[in-house]
Amino acid sequence: MFSLAALVLMEGNAFFAALSKGFTAAAFIMFLLAFVRNVARKKGLGESHFHWNPNSLLVIRREIPLLMAFVIPVTIITTSTSSTPEAFSLMTAWSPALYSGVHRTGDICATDHESC
């Protein structure tokens, strides 16, 4: 029988739980992108069975690794930060400061309406 202390040690803290959710979501997305990549490979299912356009398959083969390199870290970060109430409260606390820090850039005005 496990004690409460052993159970707490096995579960970890909120940071690792949030990180686990981020990696789980990233693994699912990576699985889907890898599946599409394998369907689009040379002499693969997309070419030989579905008769997809060879130019489309070439673009998929070329762009999927770049998409994976961008989407996977973004998924880990966004899922991890949105899964904890502490991260959400930190984002809402910083959002007014970030919004008021936006200054005039070219013809775009965010908060300083008098100078527009």
Element (H, E) at 67: helix 54-82
Torsion, Cα of 57, 62, 65, 70 (10° steps):
-110
pLDDT at residue 2, as a whole number: 44
What are the per-10-residue average pLDDT scores of the chain (116 residues)?
A: 44 76 93 95 92 94 93 90 64 52 48 50
What pLDDT does 11 receive? 54
